[in-house]
A = this chain, B = another copy of it.
């Protein structure tokens, strides 16, 4: 689930952009070679941690003799002051990796934290929180991993592992029914699941007999969604979508939809505040 390949690639990009040719000039000029430091990564706010494997990988790349102790695990809830991880070794190496390691950890923990807030807002219902394809280019698999660490579930990975029929596809094919048939004819035995986006109850009624895997209720009011749930009566999974804020989630979840998908999880999560305290050994 944690994708080491894209992690490894982004670490290379990150080190190249932070170090250039000349490297960490300040540390090389001021720290004696024999200085050893311990860096303690500590939470400065409450949240959920995600991305610890990247801390280990960053230091393995910079200087594999730096020891990395992961005190927390991904998915752990932390409070302000919680010790999350420690790194210890050659002082220059510890400082050189500090910012890159934190940039990864803060971003992914920010996503896990925001996700856990949405999941909390739907607590007590059977509604799951989903991410979207609104991810940072180059980071999709890592961000979708962070969503799972916050208690969310993953929507499709990309355009290739699930069909999502929207209005333009329906226009292209002629009707909802024709669109679904076109998809089934395209790759008869592929097993790729099909979701259809509907904007009102009439469209929902047209989809229901088609036996698709999921229906997306696009920008409906809570009342419309209640109606949709009743109408559907469990025959297909329902996903609510469209500007879902933390404030609105409890009411939407109460309608009985199966999923709420939230673009903000990945496109607008603020970083979780974490810092590295340096101790001399």
What is the interface of chain A, defined by CB distance below 8 A to chain B?
Answer: 2, 4, 6-11, 13-14, 17-32, 35, 37, 52-54, 56-57, 60-65, 67-70, 73, 91, 95-96, 99-100, 102-104, 106-107, 110, 133-141, 157-161, 163-173, 179, 182-183, 185-187, 192, 263-264, 267-268, 270-271, 278, 280
Contact = CB atoms under 8 A, between A and B. Distances in A.
A20 B160 contact: yes
A172 B32 contact: yes
A57 B11 CA distance: 14
Given A18-B140, A160-B19, A168-B95, A271 B267 contact: yes
Given A20-B157, A159-B24, A56 B52 contact: no
Q: How many copies does the complex hold?
A: 6
B267 A270 contact: yes
A173 B92 CA distance: 12
The 10 tightest CB contacts between A and B, nearest first, are: A60-B60, A14-B137, A20-B160, A268-B270, A53-B64, A29-B186, A31-B172, A22-B160, A267-B271, A30-B169
Given A64-B56, A96-B159, A168-B37, A186 B25 contact: yes
A31 B169 contact: yes
Given A103-B137, A268-B110, A271-B134, A159 B64 contact: no
A239 to B, nearest CB: 16
Contacts of A167: 278
Contact of A57 (B20, B64, B140, B161): B64
